[in-house]
Amino acid sequence: MSEAIVVPKNGKHPSYIEHEGKHKGLLGWILSTDHKRIAIIYLVAIISFFLVGMTFGFLMRLELIAPGRTIMDAQTYNSFFTLHGVIMIFLFVVPGIPAIFGNFFLPILIGARDVSFPRLNLFTWYLYVIGGLLAIISILLPGGPADTGWTFYIPYSVRTGSNVVFALFAAFVLGFSSIFTGINFVTTVHRLRAPGMSWFKMPLSVWSLYATAWVQILATPIIGITLLLVAIERVFGVGLFDPALGGDPVLYQHLFWIYSHPAVYIMILPAMGVVSEIIPVFARRTILGYKFIAMSSIAIAVFGSLVWAHHMFTAGMSNTGQFIFSLLTMVVAIPSAIKVFNWTATLYKGSIELSTPLLFALAFIFQFTIGGLTGIMQGVLSVDIMIHDTSFIVAHFHYVMFGGTGFGLFAALHYWFPKMFGRMYSEKTSKVAFWHIFIGFNTLYFPMFIMGWLGMPRRYYDYLPEFQIYHLISTIGSWILVAGILIMFGNLLKAWLNGKKTTEKNPWGGETLEWKIETPPIHENFVDIPTIHEAPYAYKQNESETLTNQEVK
Amino acid sequence: MSSQEQAAAAHVHRDDVGARMGMWLFLFTELILFGGMFILYSVYRYMHPDSFHLAAKELNTIVGTFNTAILLTSSLTMVLAITAIQRKQKALSIFFQLITIVLALGFMVNKYFEWTAKFHHGIYPGSDTLLAKPTGEILFFGLYYVMTGLHGLHVIIGVILIGMMARLTSKEIINSNSYVKLESAGLYWHLVDIIWIFLFPLFYLIT
């Protein structure tokens, strides 16, 4: 891997965007095994599905603006929340940061030319697209889109007449996409680190992607087989989970959550990595407690895999089981809190520059803290009985998944955009977009905490008039949020197509390896593989001194 | 060769340790995939010990034993194929790979007769005979068909995989210097074998 690459005749390496491989034009993108190009086609696919999922969510909110039927019937509403969940979880949040930014930056951050298995990497994108198409087919075929919720709970999922099998199969295929990405990343981190890049010199986003990759490898097969079994049960009538044939629906729930709870850490850990990258750069300070942040990622991955049954406190479980799962749930809060404390402590006395990436990162900390603390409330057995299946839960996981991971992805997009595209977006517009998204998000989801606490059940099509004020505020929030998201993507799209070109290597003053290579990166990332001497966030009193210390060509 | 192609050629690198590591990680995921079904088996066996006892008696232990012997032998021939290529005996390696494929197909033929015999007795998912039995037996046969079925699917994938390896060996892409692909296919084949080693006692021997 350390061999030098051949210098082109004119002495100038083309960027990965201009680089001409075997194929030209569009084929050059969808058949390229360059991790950077794969990241870009993932970006396009994932954001497209995000916009589809967002549309479903937006329409659901519109339906809920007043009690009774507003714009759709109850069956359509059931399908919409299922599709919103399936698309957002399996096609947006789970693959989001690892597939886009992990692919693009993981090899660069560890000083490698590519991932370990470039062809497998491209294959995951095809699996992703096939999974997405299956989800779309399930919408279009007669029988109607799945209406089970994204959890596919037995026995309804084997009895409903809607196209559950396609939705199940979509999730199954997407699971394999996720597994292969995980295998690729673990092997890459083990095998392809640049000379001198010891484990504790890896950037923190690499640590979080590494922890995520392990959870992807170890947890995803369980959901794969479980969903496959439900599909087999539906198609062939094999007795596996259906209580009519002797099966145990609670066992299904266990198997489902054995993956789906660790999956929320697959979703949140990469975003935590992004925040750990952004905070030191815009505070101009070495991150506080590097080892604690790195190890807390591993701790979250380990403990996060052992708490699944806290989704099932009301489903029937022994007292001992409840006690253990409640306790472990509390334990996960510790490494999460370590991260939050370290981030805020890094900001303390830093020279803070309030750029858009940092704004998103700060919003992440704010919203993740709310989402995390309300999560602990649900881990308390007595409280959980009261708020189970209410919109309190919906608010909680949207604060973590969207307020956390979604904002983390937006932060990453604004942080790495100039490096990825060699173009700069309008900072002013991006800040306008940020404030819309931030205010819209909180207006949308905070009322759900209140109405959930007062007893508004989740997934309900209709509600009592006393809840209308909260639903109204929430729906107004969704308008602000969607406006903000459209402004943001409009701004970025405009920048991508014809923004100001930049070849500045290090627009933000970052210290990690991606800021020391060309903008946009050359096909091979590095002309010579760098040798690493320093920890990743070595901000010193004199910045220019640091930059010369570790010169990378 | 343009300069860019030269750059691309220089980029090609080999990392056999990495390739093996990736394969092992994939095997973990396969184990966990089957692990989900083993969990189902254990829980349902615990819930319905009597029905599982009765249902297991209906399976043909002799055919099962025969199939176990076939699969174990095929693992041996796979190992011999790898050893042969290490010793630069290309033809011998291809021979052993083809023997492995033949044994795998023999396993599938046995499986076919076993399944069709069950079908003739009216024991298949959703049949009236099966639905008339106690729920524990319905679950047992449900798991039997699903687990041996998915295992059979893995056998077929293995056959295709080893077939591809035999082709690569004959084209000398797999040779005595570079045989990590064959090793990975071998690892996969041993996984298929070891899963059967667990399926066999759970369905045929424990009654």
DSSP result, A415-473: HHHHHHHSEE--HHHHHHHHHHHHHHHHHHHHHHHHHHHHT-BTT-S---GGGHHHHHH
Kindly list the residues from chain A whose CB atom is less than 8 angstroms away from the CB atom of residue B14.
none
Structural domain includes residue A336: yes
Question: How many Cα neighbours within 13 Å face the side chain of A395?
Answer: 28
Kindly list the residues from chain A whose CB atom is less than 8 angstroms away from the CB atom of residue B30.
221
pLDDT at A192: 94
CB–CB of B142 and A240 under 8 A? yes
How many Å lie between the alpha carbon of B108 and the closest alpha carbon of chain A?
21
Interface residue of B25, B47, B139, B144 to substitute, partner A, most A CBs within 10 Å = B25
Average pLDDT of span A57-67: 96
- CA-CA distance, A263 to A182, in Å (whole number)? 13
Residue from the list A20, A225, A236 with its beta carbon closest to the beta carbon of B126: A236
CB–CB of B146 and A238 under 8 A? yes
Kindly list the residues from chain B whose CB atom is less than 8 angstroms away from the CB atom of residue A225.
33-34, 36-37
- For helices A468-498 and A427-454, angle between their N-to-C axes, nearest 10 degrees: 160
Q: Are the C-beta atoms of A128 and A42 separated by less than 8 Å? A: yes
A414 token code pair: 């604004």
Q: Are the C-beta atoms of A458 and A391 separated by less than 8 Å? A: yes
CB–CB of A232 and B146 under 8 A? yes
Q: Quick one: which of A182, A170, A172 has its CA closest to A120?
A: A182
CB–CB of A221 and B47 under 8 A? no
Average pLDDT of span A464-493: 97
pLDDT at A540: 64
Question: How many Cα neighbours within 13 Å face the side chain of B111?
Answer: 23
Average pLDDT of span A303-322: 92
Q: Helix, strand or coil for residue A17?
A: coil
- For helices A35-63 and A74-86, angle between their N-to-C axes, nearest 10 degrees: 160
CB–CB of A187 and B143 under 8 A? no
How many Å lie between the alpha carbon of A246 and the closest alpha carbon of chain B?
5
CB–CB of B18 and A232 under 8 A? no
In tens, the pLDDT along B37-60 reads: 999 999 999 999 999 999 999 898
Kindly list the residues from chain A whose CB atom is less than 8 angstroms away from the CB atom of residue B13.
1, 3
Give A99 or B9, the one with higher predicted confidence.
Answer: A99
- Domain total in chain A: 1
Phi-psi region of A551 (alpha: psi -120 to 50; beta: other; left: phi over 0): beta
How many Å lie between the alpha carbon of A261 and the closest alpha carbon of chain B?
16
- CA-CA distance, A456 to A460, in Å (whole number)? 8
Q: How many CB atoms lie within 10 A of CB A466?
A: 12
Angle CA(A432)–CA(A436)–CA(A439) in degrees, nearest 5?
135
| Chain A 245-264, residues with CB within 8 Å of chain B CB atoms | 245-248, 251, 255
Q: What percent of chain B has pLDDT over 70?
A: 94
Residue from the list A113, A182, A238 with its beta carbon closest to the beta carbon of B145: A238
Give the structural domain span for A70: 25-543
How many Å lie between the alpha carbon of B92 and the closest alpha carbon of chain A?
30
CB-based contact (8 Å) between A24 and chain B?
no
Mean pLDDT of chain B, nearest integer: 91
Structural domain includes residue A520: yes
Q: For chains A and B, what is the number of CB pairs under 8 angstroms? A: 131
pLDDT at A96: 93
CB–CB of A20 and B35 under 8 A? no
The CATH number of residue A256's host domain is 1.20.210.10
Residue from the list B22, B44, B125 with its beta carbon closest to the beta carbon of A183: B22
In tens, the pLDDT along A118-149 reads: 999 999 999 999 999 999 999 898 888 999 99
How many Å lie between the alpha carbon of A264 and the closest alpha carbon of chain B?
19
**CA distances (Å), origin A112, targets A331, B5, B71, B196:** 36, 19, 41, 40
pLDDT at A537: 85
CB–CB of A221 and B36 under 8 A? yes
Phi and psi, residue A501, nearest 5°? -70, 140
pLDDT at A536: 86
Average pLDDT of span A432-436: 97
| Chain A 449-468, residues with CB within 8 Å of chain B CB atoms | none
Angle CA(A147)–CA(A152)–CA(A158) in degrees, nearest 5?
85
CB–CB of B146 and A251 under 8 A? no
pLDDT exceeds 80 at position A7: no
Q: How many CB atoms lie within 10 A of CB A196?
A: 13
Give B4 or A382, the one with higher predicted confidence.
Answer: A382
In tens, the pLDDT along B66-101 reads: 999 999 999 999 999 999 999 999 999 999 999 999
pLDDT band for position A166 (cuts 50, 70, 90):
very high
pLDDT at B3: 43
Phi and psi, residue A262, nearest 5°? -50, -30
Q: Are the C-beta atoms of A411 and A367 separated by less than 8 Å? A: no
Q: Which residue of A has its CA nearest to B35?
A: A222
CB–CB of A191 and B15 under 8 A? yes
A40 token code pair: 């870009």
A514 token code pair: 């991606």
CB–CB of A239 and B125 under 8 A? yes
The CATH number of residue B163's host domain is 1.20.120.80
pLDDT at B12: 54
Kindly list the residues from chain B whose CB atom is less than 8 angstroms away from the CB atom of residue A14.
4
A176-180, B109-113, B126-130: least confidently modelled range: B126-130
How many Å lie between the alpha carbon of B133 and the closest alpha carbon of chain A?
10
Q: How far does chain A reach from its first CA to its final CA, in angstroms?
A: 16
Average pLDDT of span A275-284: 94
User: What letter represents residue A252's amino acid?
Assistant: Y
Average pLDDT of span A21-48: 92
Residue from the list B9, B18, B26 with its beta carbon closest to the beta carbon of A191: B18
Q: What are the residue ranges of helices labelled H in A160-203?
A: 164-191
Average pLDDT of span A210-228: 95
pLDDT at A418: 95
Interface residue of A9, A216, A225, A308 to substitute, partner B, most B CBs within 10 Å = A225
Structural domain includes residue A331: yes
pLDDT exceeds 80 at position A543: no
pLDDT exceeds 60 at position A295: yes
CB–CB of B142 and A20 under 8 A? no
- CA-CA distance, B18 to B11, in Å (whole number)? 16
Q: How far does chain B reach from its first CA to its final CA, in angstroms?
A: 67
The pTM is what? 0.93
pLDDT band for position A552 (cuts 50, 70, 90):
low
Rg of chain A taking only CA atoms, in angstroms: 23
Kindly list the residues from chain A whose CB atom is less than 8 angstroms away from the CB atom of residue B33.
221-222, 224-225
Kindly list the residues from chain A whose CB atom is less than 8 angstroms away from the CB atom of residue B36.
221-222, 225-226, 229, 255
Phi and psi, residue A525, nearest 5°? 65, -60
- Domain total in chain B: 1
CB–CB of B35 and A222 under 8 A? yes
Kindly list the residues from chain A whose CB atom is less than 8 angstroms away from the CB atom of residue B28.
217-218
pLDDT exceeds 90 at position B5: no
What was the ipTM of the complex prediction?
0.90
Q: What percent of chain A has pLDDT over 90?
A: 82
- CA-CA distance, B160 to B175, in Å (whole number)? 20
- CA-CA distance, A285 to A262, in Å (whole number)? 32
Average pLDDT of span B147-171: 96
Kindly list the residues from chain A whose CB atom is less than 8 angstroms away from the CB atom of residue B140.
none
pLDDT band for position A454 (cuts 50, 70, 90):
very high
pLDDT at B6: 41
Residue from the list A114, A233, A523 with its beta carbon closest to the beta carbon of B7: A523
Give the structural domain span for B190: 3-205
Phi and psi, residue A424, nearest 5°? -115, 140
B144 token code pair: 């039997």
Q: Helix, strand or coil for residue A113?
A: coil
pLDDT at A211: 96
pLDDT band for position A4 (cuts 50, 70, 90):
low
| Chain A 181-240, residues with CB within 8 Å of chain B CB atoms | 182-184, 186-187, 190-192, 217-218, 220-222, 224-226, 229, 232-233, 236-240
pLDDT at A522: 93
